Structures are given as C-alpha cells and as structure tokens.
Structure 1
Amino acid sequence: MSTVTAGPVTGRIHSWDLSTGVDGPGTRFVLFVNGCPLRCLYCANPDTWHMRDGRQVTVDEVMAEIDKYRPFISAAGGGVTITGGEPLLQPAFTGAVLRRCKGAGLHTAIDTSGLLGARATDDLLADTDLVLLDIKSFDVTTYRKLTGGSLTPTLNFATRLDRLRTRIWIRYVLVPGWTDDPESVDGLASFLGGLGSVERVDILPFHKLGAAKYDALGLPFPLRDTPVPDAALVNRVRGQFHEHGLTVH
C-alpha cells in the first residue's frame, strides 16, 4: 500500500509589511492574506478580495521572512499580525503561521471581521494572543447594506472570545451617514461593555486613501462622495463608548 505524504501548508497572500501602533502592540510584521467574503463599501484593500489574485507561499517562506525582522520586532515589543483580506478564510494556513510564531516566542494577532469565526478552532485561538475584531455596525440592516454579510456571526464570535478570555481590540470605522447613528453606537457600546475581554476600542475615521486602488482595478468606489467625519462627530462617538466604561483610542 502506498503512503500519501502531505505537502507543506500553503496560503494565498497579497504582501507583508511593518507597522507600528495600528495592528497590535509594538512594531508588527503584518501579513496580508488574499480572499474576503465581505464587500465593505469603504474597503481600502479591494486588491485583496479574491484568493486567486494572491501569491501562493508556504508557511516556511513566511517564517523565513519574519525571521529577518524578529530581533527588531521583539526588541520593540511587537509581534506578528495576520490581516487581509480575511485570515479565517484560510484557517489552516493562518493557524500554522500562528503556531510557528508562538513557538518562536512572538506575540500573535489576527485582524478579522468575525464573520468566519466558526472556522477558528480552539487550537488556532490558543495560538492567538490578540484578536483585532472589526465590528462594522450594530444595526443588522445597516450591516447587511454596508458589508453584504450578516452581523450575528461576528457577535457570536465576540462572545466566544470572551468566554475563552482571548484579548480583544475592537476596530470601528466611523462613516458619516452609515455608522454614526447614536442609538446603534450606544447599542454596540453596551454590548462591548459587557465583555471582559475587550481591552480597547479603536475609532477609525472613514478615509478615501484606497480610492486610487478602485480606479486602478476599474471598480467604482461606492463612498467616493461620502464626507470624512469631522472632529465633533469623532469625539461624540468616542464619548459614547467611553460612557460604557470602555477604553477608547
């Protein structure tokens, strides 16, 4: 009888980069994977939507690149963040990278919408020190119109992370006319205030820095005419989260 030997774990990625302060604590090696089930109207990375457009790499190749920066990111109190795209669209690859990073003593994080949270095994989450959880809206109808997806899986994932005591940083993109409704913001803040694992909420003002990517891809940018939020709106929303005892950035 012949024995089939499994090949190396591979994934489809867009790129990697270094960042400070926005993708987790310290200086991070940020791995952008390809493929996302959502189509958020404000998405800044439409070039990561399709897995087919990504470059196939092995986990060993990724780790070899991380090793080049490992002394620097360790000294800077950083680690590795897997983002995208959607990391949980490729759970085997994402899990393997996280496991290798943990084995190398590196802090680990994933940036996810939570839509595919059911694909994250307990083992994968055990290798994840921090989840950057993007909650797009707390209103079910707005969420569907804004992303094309369902809100419920994300809320279920947040509750599961809290049960597992996995550290959570919430990312909330503030889009005038879409995610600034006071009642919806207050509802989300109340929900998050009941989760002990939520360490902070990052309010991310809507921007149009990705518009050029849409032009290059021949795609319409749906929110091209939407204004960016002014300081008064940002402060109001920050205050609403703060009122529920949350640390806001």
Structure 2
Amino acid sequence: MSTVARGRIHSWDISTGVDGPGTRFVLFVSGCPLRCLYCANPDTWHMRDGKETTADEVMAEIEKYRAFITTAGGGVTITGGEPLLQPAFTGAILRRCKEAGLHTALDTSGFLGARVTDEFLSHTDLVLLDIKSFDTTTYRRLTGRALAPTLAFATRLDRLGVRMWIRYVLVPGWTDEMKSVEGLARFVEDLSSVDRVDVLPFHKLGAAKYEALRLPFPLHDTPAPTHDSVERVRQRFRAHGLRAY
C-alpha cells in the first residue's frame, strides 16, 4: 500500500467512549453502499461530495493529536460512510497508524469485507461491526443490501482473531423483535473474538442533515426506544454470556 494513497473524506473529529477505547481521532470517509433508514450521516453517502486528500495529509493531521490521544489511552478510528469502499486509502492509514504505535479501529457494516486482505486486517486492532438486524428480510428493507456478507465477515474476523465490538441499533418496530435479537445473540456468542455488544438507541440527531439536503427522513415518525426496551435487549445478549452496554 502506497503512502501516497488518495481518498475522499468528509471530516474528522475527536471522540471519547463511542468509537473505540479511550479518546479517538475519528476519520469520516466519504461513500457508502448502504442506505440505512436511520442513517445519521446522509452527507457521507456519496464519494463525490467528499474532500480529496492523501494518506500523508491525514497522518500529518493525526500527528498533531498523537500525544493527546495516546495519553488518554485511545487511538485512531476510521468510520464513514463506509471505510471499505476505499480499501487502499483506508488500509494505508491503518498500516501507518500501526507503524506509529497507534491503536487502530475500523467502523464498518462489513458488507464489503471481501474487498480487504488478511494483511489489511492485520493492521486493525479492533473492528466496530454494525449488524443492523439478524432477520434477512428486515436487513434488506432497512439497508437496501443483503445480510450474508456481514455475517461472513464476522466469521472471518473471528477466525483471524481480530477483536470486535458488535454494534446494534435498536429501532422500535424494526429491530426490537426479540426472535431476531435472540438469533443474533446466538450467532455472536459463538464468536470468540467479540469483546462486547453495544445496543445503541435509535435517535433523530441527523434529521437536520436530511432537511439541509432536501431529503425525506424515512423514520421521521419513529419514536426513540424506551430505557426499558433497550435494557431488555441488553439483557438478552447478557443471557448468552456477552458483555452488553
């Protein structure tokens, strides 16, 4: 992978707690093949809307915050959009971060997991794997894509020993059906490299972005899940011996 790999990014930010361990430099890349009905970042869907940059330029920006993020026990997380839509660019940054001694995390739907090599994954300390639903019909309705590639990627990560945090967004009327949750819990409990499951309550914080882009927000009338419903799903994962938050 060349150090002059080029790609398109939306933005970057400093985050604590939700994008991997410690304080993170979070890079948002542009482009995504999914169209999740609850997506909070529709402004990252198209690569053409991103800013063209190089791995060198990104690393120079990361270096400014190196002391801060390492002192805080963090690292670098690449998210999006979908980072695996730009595998050479994403892979170059992950490799250079690893060479610099920085903890690396990749936030992905896993749909494009077959695009990346085992070498690419050897530079990835943690994968934040978003599994939107365990029901194949619901998954396709929710994302516009198939579930199978994501499950295959999870199995591959487990075989390679790449650590995972599973992320599951709880959307009332969509992903709160307990039979589906149970199926996912049974699948995940067989993956030895999963460290935790994050049950994330659906929210509408991205609604203003849809308005600015003159796009309808598909789940505008969907309420946020109750605290009890979120805890009920977490308990279902915990019943399978998983750490759920």
Normalised by the length of structure 1, the TM-score is: 0.97
Partner of 1:105: 101
Match in the other structure for 1:138: 134
Residue aligning to 2:152: 156
Summarize the alignment of residues 30-69 of structure 1 with structure 2, pairs less than 5 Å apart.
30-69=26-65
Distance 1:128 1:195 in 2: 17
Cα RMSD after superposing both structures:
0.9
Q: Return the offset for 1:232.
A: 1.2
**134, 142, 147: which one aligns with 2:143:** 147
| Map of 2:188 onto structure 1 | 192
Matched, 1:24 2:20: yes
Shift of 1:7: 8.9
- What's the secondary structure of 1:18's corresponding residue? strand
**Alignment partners' CA distance in 2, 1:248 and 1:208:** 23
Runs of at least 5 residues in structure 2 that lack an aligned partner in the other structure: none
CA distance in 2, matches of 1:21, 1:133: 16
User: How far apart are residue 120 of structure 1 and its match?
Assistant: 1.5
**Separation (CA, whole Å) in 2 of partners of 1:238 and 1:122:** 32
Q: Which residue of 2 aligns with 1:247?
A: 243
Deviations 1:168-225 (A, max 9, x none): 0000000000000010000000000010011000000000000000000000000000
- Cα distance in 2 for residues equivalent to 1:147 and 1:85: 13
CA–CA distance in structure 2, aligned partners of residues 176 and 82 of structure 1: 28
The answer for unaligned runs of 5 or more in structure 1 is: 1-5
Question: Which amino acid letter does the alignment assign opposite residue 6 of structure 2?
Answer: T
Runs of 4+ displaced beyond 3 Å? none
1: CA distance, partners of 2:117 / 2:66: 26
Match of 1:3 in 2: none
1:127-184 per-position Cα deviation (integer Å, ceiling 9, x unaligned): 0000000000000000000000000000000000000000000000000000000100
Q: d(CA) in 2 for partners of 1:166 and 1:9?
A: 24
Residue identity (%): 75
How far is the alpha carbon of 1:231 from its aligned partner?
Answer: 1.0
Amino acid at match of 2:81: G
CA distance in 1, matches of 2:20, 2:4: 28
CA distance in structure 2 between the partners assigned to 1:71 and 1:236 by the alignment: 40
Total equivalences in the alignment: 244
In structure 1, C-alpha distance between the alignment counterparts of 2:180 and 2:218, rounded to whole Å:
22
Preserved contact between residue 83 and residue 90 of structure 2 (Cα < 8 Å): yes
Work out whether 1:127 is the aligned partner of 2:119.
Answer: no
- TM-score for the superposition, normalised by structure 2: 0.99
Q: By how many angstroms is 1:67 displaced? A: 0.3
